[in-house]
């Protein structure tokens, strides 16, 4: 029996919209861009997957963050499970890891090209929806070129029956994977920014808190806290969880605990000290909402902060490139720069306030 998560905020409308576009043929592949901890995985598992199944899809989920989970073998077993029901899956499992966090597959299972597995799935009456989480990890693997190419071939040939949602937390790697003219997935999928949650989410958590504790919480203040956390759902949820478990905690106290635990301030301080003064000022500018990094106005502002006569465009370009390579900066589908880690953004802004 599955236990419903009372603190999960469903994004039913978004899930319905995306699935409607799949079913109508508007697109066959979708890539969701978002930084870490913004709720992409939970959205796939709690909103997309169950709704897709009720609409007639067979749903397969795989996270490429799990290095112990072989994608080809998992997809092959999923295909055989569709034909053989329970027997197809469990007959080839050697063992289950501690806490059921993974499965060990029988090494004698014959591997076949991913494109052939997808072809077999396409022969089924029901369409298949593949949910491929953290896809950039597949692209990073030096020995994965055959897997990537075969996946692209299968998805391309059977796009009428096989739909796919890619997600990833490294927007830079995703952009290379899908926008590089030499990459197998060049211009393959429709790309959108995973929309952040708003006040309806913080109000939802406030209601849950008040129901469980019978204590009042200021919804406006909670929403402001959510904004301070850069609208990261996991962090606000953990704050509310902590306050429900310990009703004596105030929102301010729970928030400071969360920032200390999630921000890993010592690590961020180390990263910060490794950066040049220009790197630091560019990160601060992006954290404060600057969108025109190369504008004359911003270059003058940077020069003033750094105490130099001029900051050249080429210097900014080199710094941005370095920050992107270190995954401290990323870009959305509109090419807008953002801090790739929401907790790091909060740390930068807090440091700026404390030093002024």
Residue 281 in this model has a pLDDT that exceeds 70? yes
161 pLDDT higher than 60: yes
- What per-residue confidence (pLDDT) applies to 239? 97
> Is residue 337 pLDDT above 70, yes or no?
yes
70 falls in which pLDDT band (50, 70, 90)? confident
Q: What is the pLDDT of residues 141-158, one digit of tens each?
A: 666 778 888 998 999 999
What pTM does this model have?
Answer: 0.81
327 falls in which pLDDT band (50, 70, 90)? confident
Q: For position 101, what pLDDT does the model report?
A: 35
Percent of the chain predicted with pLDDT > 70: 82
For domain 268-355, say whether CATH 3.40.50.150 is its number.
Answer: no
270-287 mean pLDDT: 95
- How high is the pLDDT of residue 186? 55
Question: What's the pLDDT score for residue 97?
Answer: 32
- Residue 103: its pLDDT value, please? 43
**The pLDDT of residue 146:** 81
pLDDT reported for residue 133: 93
What average pLDDT does this structure show over 330-335?
Answer: 77
Give 170 or 32, the one with higher predicted confidence. Answer: 32
Residue 93 binned pLDDT confidence (cut-offs 50, 70, 90): very low
Please tell me the predicted confidence (pLDDT) of residue 263.
59
Q: Is the pLDDT of residue 86 over 80?
A: no
Which among 138-142, 249-253, 288-292 has the top mean pLDDT? 249-253
Assign 3-class secondary structure to the chain. Answer: CCCCCCCCCCCHHHHHHHHHHHHHCCCCEEEEECCCCCCHHHHHHHHHHHHHHHCCCEEEEEECCCCCCCHHHHHHHHHHHHHHCHHHHHCCEEEECHHHCCEEECCCCCCCCHHHHHHHHHCCCCCEEEEEECCHHHHHCCCCHHHHHHHHHHHHHCCCCEEEEEEECCHHHHHHHHHCCCCCCCCCCEEEECCCCCHHHHHHHHHHHHHHHCCCCCHHHHHHHHHHCCCCHHHHHHHHHHHHHCCCCCHHHHHHHHHHHHHCHHHHHHHHHCCCHHHHHHHHHHHCCCCCCCCHHHHHHHHHHHCCCCCCHHHHHHHHHHHHHCCCEEECCCCCEEECCHHHHHHHHHHHHHHC
Residue 69 is predicted with a pLDDT of 66
The dotted CATH code for 12-193 is 3.40.50.300
39 Cβ partners below 8 Å, 6+ apart? 194, 197, 233, 234
pLDDT of residue 89: 34
Q: Quickly state the pLDDT bin for 354 (edges 50, 70, 90).
A: low
Residue range 235-263, pLDDT digits in tens: 999 999 999 999 999 999 999 999 888 75
| Residue ranges of domains in the chain | 12-193, 199-263, 268-355
Q: What is the pLDDT of residue 356?
A: 60
| pLDDT for residue 17 | 97
Name the residue with higher pLDDT: 265 or 241: 241
pLDDT value at position 254? 96
């Amino acid at each position: 029996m599955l236990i419903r998560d009372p603190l999960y905020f469903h994004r039913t409308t978004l899930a319905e919209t995306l699935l409607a576009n799949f079913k109508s043929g508007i697109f066959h592949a979708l890539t969701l861009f978002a930084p870490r901890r913004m709720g992409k995985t939970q959205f796939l598992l709690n909103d997309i997957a169950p709704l897709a199944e009720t609409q007639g899809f067979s749903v397969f989920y795989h996270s490429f963050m799990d290095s112990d989970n072989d994608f080809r073998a998992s997809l092959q077993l999923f295909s055989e499970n569709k034909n053989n029901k329970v027997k197809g899956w469990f007959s080839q499992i050697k063992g289950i890891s501690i806490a059921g966090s993974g499965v060990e597959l029988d090494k004698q299972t014959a591997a076949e090209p991913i494109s052939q597995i997808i072809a077999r799935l396409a022969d089924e009456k029901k369409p298949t929806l593949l949910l491929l989480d953290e896809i950039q990890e597949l692209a990073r693997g030096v020995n994965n070129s055959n897997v990537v190419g075969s996946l692209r071939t299968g998805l391309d040939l059977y796009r009428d029956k096989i739909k796919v949602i890619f997600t990833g937390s490294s927007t830079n790697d995703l952009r290379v994977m899908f926008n590089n003219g030499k990459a197998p997935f060049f211009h393959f999928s429709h790309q959108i920014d995973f929309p952040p949650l708003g006040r309806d989410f913080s109000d939802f958590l406030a209601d849950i808190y008040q129901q469980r504790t019978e204590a009042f919480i200021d919804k406006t203040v909670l929403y402001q806290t959510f904004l301070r956390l850069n609208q990261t759902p996991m962090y606000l949820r953990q704050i509310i969880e902590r306050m429900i478990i310990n009703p004596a905690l105030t929102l301010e106290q729970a928030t400071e605990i969360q920032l200390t635990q999630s921000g890993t301030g010592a690590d961020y301080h180390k990263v910060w000290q490794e950066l040049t003064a220009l790197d630091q000022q560019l990160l601060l500018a992006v954290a404060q909402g600057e969108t025109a990094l190369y504008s004359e106005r911003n270059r003058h502002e940077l020069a003033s902060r750094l105490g130099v006569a001029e900051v050249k465009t080429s210097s900014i370009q080199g710094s941005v490139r370095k920050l992107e390579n270190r995954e401290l900066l990323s870009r959305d589908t509109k090419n807008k720069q953002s801090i790739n880690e929401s907790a790091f953004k909060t740390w930068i802004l807090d440091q700026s306030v404390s030093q002024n």
